[in-house]
A and B are shown apart, each in its own frame.
Chain A
Amino acid sequence: MQVKDIITSLELKVFGGSQGLSNEITGGYTSDLLSDVMGYADNGKIWITLQTHKNVIAIASLKELAAVILIKGNEPDADMLTQAKEEGIPVLGSNEEAFEMTGKLYNLLTR
């Protein structure tokens, strides 16, 4: 499954980094501690977080994550979005909370 395949079913907003919409998804990782993601998220995963700091993109790029989903209606900081566009990492958004978004993504990926 690719990032673009989940956008409609999860009702996600695309903030930027759309060059990466055909990234293959291998799973998901939900965490707000960037040091944790750096240590434990595997490549190809979708990262669900409330953090809107530009370091999110640096870590997503380093770990070759498929995309980032910002929850609770959070919007990326301006410099996070700039970096996402440069790195081609899709930054998506949802009004859901982490629990619901994680559950829906899990169901979609294991269906």
Chain B
Amino acid sequence: MNKYRADLHIHTVLSPCGDLEMSPKKIIEKAREKGLDIIGITDHNTTRHCKLISKLAEPAGIFVLMGAEVTTREEVHCLTFFENDEKLSEFQLYLETHLPPIPNDTNKFGYQVVVDEDEQIIDEIEFLLLSALDQSIEQVEQKVHSLMGIIIPAHIDRHSYSIISQLGFIPSGLLIDGIEISANCKVASVMPFLAKHKDKTIIRNSDAHYEENIGKAFSVFEMRHRSFSEIKLALNGIEGRKVSIS
């Protein structure tokens, strides 16, 4: 088994709240500087920067988990990840189908721009990515798993946009691959909510919107090598693989 340092919750400039400095190129540079082996790219309700970042990360020796931070109808944030470009594209289509057509006000929320590897703007997303999809958390979970993806409720300790704040507790029967806590969260504070979910792996990420926060929090994955399937196995604690947090 090998140990890998992973920060699986990073926003790019494409998220309206993501800093303009968060270009694919800068994210890779910073991740390398911070000694991250694996990064998760999770913009709000879009995956449009994932493929480029994955491509740029390869020569830098960083493995990219491609996905999005989805906002469900109940306003619960969930991290979602997919194995390859094909599955990611299908999920992107699902996101575009279910995001309400509310225009983004760039003065209030910020820019939602897609850039290329030279940090040139190549597209701008018209509809506000911070809106909630018209899909329940169960519907999102089913879609993710139909694409053999990973779904993890995000920052469950937060008092807004978390599964605990919105739904009171983790619904029974919801198939999740782990639980995320915020950078500064004390594990003991969420334990009362996990009584029935003791088998779930807890991960900790930065939720970086600014480059200085990349890698500020991370989880250590112990597994054979870096791949989507190994990460999924580690999250589920299969055959000695595991994830630990500080």
Contacts and interface: CB of A to CB of B under 8 A. Distances in A.
Interface of A: 33-35, 37-38, 51-55, 58-59, 77, 79
A51 B171 CA distance: 14
Contacts of A55: 167-169, 171
Contact of B165 (A33, A51, A53, A54): A33
17 contacts: A33-B165, A34-B166, A34-B168, A35-B164, A35-B166, A35-B167, A35-B168, A38-B168, A53-B74, A53-B167, A53-B171, A54-B171, A55-B168, A55-B169, A58-B168, A59-B168, A77-B138
A52 B72 CA distance: 13
A52 B74 CA distance: 9
Contacts of B74: 51, 53
B136 A34 contact: no
B166 A77 contact: no
Contacts of A37: 168
Interface string B135-152: 011100000000000000
Contacts of A79: 138
Q: Which 4 A-B pairs have the closest CB atoms?
A: A34-B168, A55-B167, A38-B168, A35-B165
A37 B136 CA distance: 20
A83 to B, nearest CB: 10
Interface string B112-156: 000000000000000000000000111000000000000000000
B206 to A, nearest CB: 24
Residue among B74, B159, B164 with max Cβ neighbours from chain A (10 Å): B74
Contacts of B169: 38, 55, 58
